[in-house]
Chain A
């Protein structure tokens, strides 16, 4: 093969034995002339005479000739021979042995290990231990002087309150080792079998620390066999800006996507008091009531778009029980509906968001209905209207019309004395021509004019009015509009302002009050799905924690073991 201009390999004495694996090399090696013997294993130079001359003397005499004894390996006897004093003339000059590259690397390894070990000792026993091993800043609520003052253990090196959650933190590193080993034994939270389990960690000792402040623990549902550890969902040490409420939806589907767990929960639910499942809502709020299935909400769910069941308020036979008669379609699209401030009515004419923007304020007659439905009794005096809100008040008003006309005249016309009395008499006479008697007037106000098309000026236009025995006030069924339609979910209108109301609420085609105008699941899933591109996380609508019903506390609740036993009972 041609060298192609490459330098040929230099010649060298390949009979010499190099010792790259030795720890020490001859100090003359870098000069290219190492001694043949090389340093000792401990790095001492072994240079010296190449032989030990032998005195050859005739028998019986002490004087003789010194003979070279250099071995053949070293070139055999030297030509000059030993010195006259019997010392060798071929003395290898001494050197300062140097470490081989391999030895230097080994030394560097040992130095690095020593440095790391020293660093570990400083970390474990130094004053910065807590700061050094802290895997990340805590959220402000779980850190700071106030937290430390409230939760630090007395008498131990715990300046940040770590011991409140990590009981091992103030112990010695040796105990950490035994604690770590204990966490790996079968049945322990971090045992290998637990790591490959699909289940989130059970409620564990650290959660007791959480509960010492977050009491009482708001359990999920009474039929859950295992309470999940707080730290399984709420990850701390992720930075000061970490949102502890942001939970990975996989924690939900770990149970709700598991048929066996849902079957256990269903079995347990059938054995428990239904009162335990009462959803607690804000005082004074009215929730849309839908019967809870005996087995609870235990359908298998792996994602919102695919197998989340239809919202229960759309279950067959479910109607809006509000007794008020209201035609959404007519109000939104009817040609006969008068303009309001020059505009046609729209959803926002009646439905106004609350302060947070999340939910809608209740529709109020005075604010949203009265401008059209103002209940006048006298066309000539439109300012005189029947009060709304109480049948008794309306009836009392109708029976004291002279006082009502008088007050109206005083306030509106500024009359008094004789002119006032004449004005009232005139009005009452005119009204008498329209309504022959007080009973007829009351009947018209409460029940409308049976001889005329439905007007806008009687209670029965919107309310169910039941006739009462003679002399009694008719009963008017009040409107019952739920404040919360889906108590097990939450919705924020403010975050959906880019969507038209009618895109979700089919109000323009609804003519009956019994229509449930809440959107169906498919409507929500059109956006809240992987295809829609908007989050379909469980926590977007649902919360895990479910405050217990009034009078039920965690301690009075079933312990996990009993729940498991109940679930597995035949």
Chain B
């Protein structure tokens, strides 16, 4: 098997393009030669769907020597794109008619587009996370968030005896404590917004003018913690999105398989010769 990811990607892209071009070029001839071509494209589509679903099964059976998950994912992505093309040939580029067929086609498109969306996310989000820095496992985020909060509270409290003033502590209680105590905002971080961070840092800079030198040092530490919390929330939101797009793709896939099974039964039970 080709070890290089890029080379494998290139090879699979070329293979997918070649298969798609062959299908597009030869389909009219096949259509003229094979009266039952629509059944053949249907079976091909079913096989592709089963292969695509097998990736999820493969992930549940890590002990089996069935190539790496990364390799499966690559095959899954390119086979999925090819299946989308076969789907349109199976429909003969006509709008599906009939309630059941319409539901089946809508489900297929939903699975396909959710897959493409997920593929796009898996290419974009890791880069965004790397660019932001502060890599952290998703499951550790709540503990780190708590740790940041405790450290911020401790820093703010420590400033009171050092400066013999409560300016920074009051500011923390009024402005920063709710931020550290609250859960992460999802949408602003998905959109890459830094407005909230800038507001907090600006507020901290504003209050810094009234702080004594010991408090200034604590305020600088708090600013670092605010930045860390922002990055942590950014990671949480993006990693959550990376995990939750599968909430649409996987369930819809199994639903699609179930309806496809009924479609196969209906077609064969009602098709001409089977009467």
Contacts and interface: CB of A to CB of B under 8 A. Distances in A.
Interface stretch (A183-191, A387-395, A516-524, A555-563): A183-191
Nearest to A182: B274
B273 A190 contact: yes
Contacts of A134: 98-100
Contacts of B262: 120, 123
B258 A113 contact: yes
Interface in B224-264: 227-228, 231-232, 243-244, 246-247, 250-252, 254-255, 258-259, 262, 264
A5 B134 CA distance: 11
Contacts, number: 209
Residue from A3, A131, A166, A199 with most neighbouring chain B CB atoms (10 Å): A166
B142 A29 contact: yes
A10 B258 contact: no
A3 B144 CA distance: 21
Nearest to A302: B32
Contacts of B268: 179-181, 183-184, 190
Interface residues of A, number: 82
Contacts of A131: 99
A229 B273 contact: yes
B101 interface: yes
A201 B39 CA distance: 13
B164 interface: no
Interface residues of B, number: 63
A551 to B, nearest CB: 31
Contact of B272 (A108, A136, A184, A206): A206
A29 to B, nearest CB: 6
Given A112-B254, A251-B35, A168 B265 contact: no
Interface in A15-43: 16, 18, 20, 29-34
Contacts of A239: 97
B225 to A, nearest CB: 10
Contacts of A237: 97-98
A116 B106 CA distance: 13
B56 to A, nearest CB: 9
A250 interface: yes
A250 B131 contact: no
A456 B124 CA distance: 94
Nearest to A189: B273
Interface in B193-222: none
B271 interface: yes
Given A32-B146, A116-B255, A116-B259, A231 B139 contact: no
A135 B98 contact: yes
A484 interface: no
B258 to A, nearest CB: 5
B109 interface: no
A111 B34 CA distance: 41
Given A9-B135, A18-B137, A113-B254, A179 B274 contact: yes
A33 B251 contact: no
Nearest to A168: B269
Contacts of A116: 254-255, 258-259
A411 interface: no
A9 B255 contact: no
A71 interface: no
Given A9-B135, A195-B40, A183 B100 contact: no
Contacts of A209: 275
Interface in A94-152: 101, 104-105, 108-109, 111-113, 115-117, 119-120, 123, 131-137
B274 A12 contact: no
A13 B227 CA distance: 20
Contacts of B54: none
A65 B136 CA distance: 46
Interface in A161-205: 165-169, 173, 176-177, 179-184, 188-190, 194-202, 204-205
A254 interface: yes
A207 B246 CA distance: 47
A436 interface: no
B162 interface: no
Interface in A410-426: none
A6 interface: yes
A112 B252 contact: yes
A529 interface: no
A201 B269 contact: no
B123 interface: no
Given A32-B142, A188-B274, A179 B136 contact: no
Contacts of B33: 198, 250, 254
B19 interface: no
Nearest to B258: A116
B132 A31 contact: no
A105 B130 CA distance: 26
Contacts of A75: none
Given A9-B136, A115-B255, A134-B99, A190 B39 contact: yes
B142 A30 contact: yes
Contacts of A31: 142, 146
Contact of B31 (A20, A32, A250): A250
B189 interface: no
A169 B266 CA distance: 9
A109 B251 contact: yes
A109 B254 CA distance: 7
A253 interface: yes
Contacts of B31: 248, 250
A84 interface: no
Contact of A206 (B227, B265, B267, B273): B273
A12 B133 contact: no
Interface string B157-195: 000000000000000000000000001000000000000
B251 A112 contact: yes
Contacts of B244: 101
Contacts of B232: 10
A197 B36 contact: yes
Contacts of B134: 6-10
A101 to B, nearest CB: 6
Nearest to A233: B35
A246 to B, nearest CB: 14
Nearest to B268: A180
Nearest to A184: B268
A33 to B, nearest CB: 6
A232 interface: yes
A200 B269 contact: no
Contacts of B148: 10
B275 A205 contact: yes
Contacts of B35: 197-201, 232, 250-251, 254
A182 to B, nearest CB: 7
Contact of A10 (B40, B228, B254): B228
Given A12-B136, A12-B140, A188-B274, A180 B265 contact: yes
10 contacts: A6-B133, A10-B144, A30-B183, A134-B98, A176-B266, A184-B268, A196-B36, A199-B35, A201-B272, A206-B273
* 10 smallest beta-carbon distances between A and B, as pairs: A189-B273, A6-B133, A32-B146, A136-B97, A180-B268, A112-B251, A7-B134, A183-B274, A250-B32, A176-B269
Given A116-B259, A135-B98, 8 more contacts: A123-B100, A134-B100, A166-B269, A168-B269, A168-B275, A195-B39, A201-B273, A254-B33
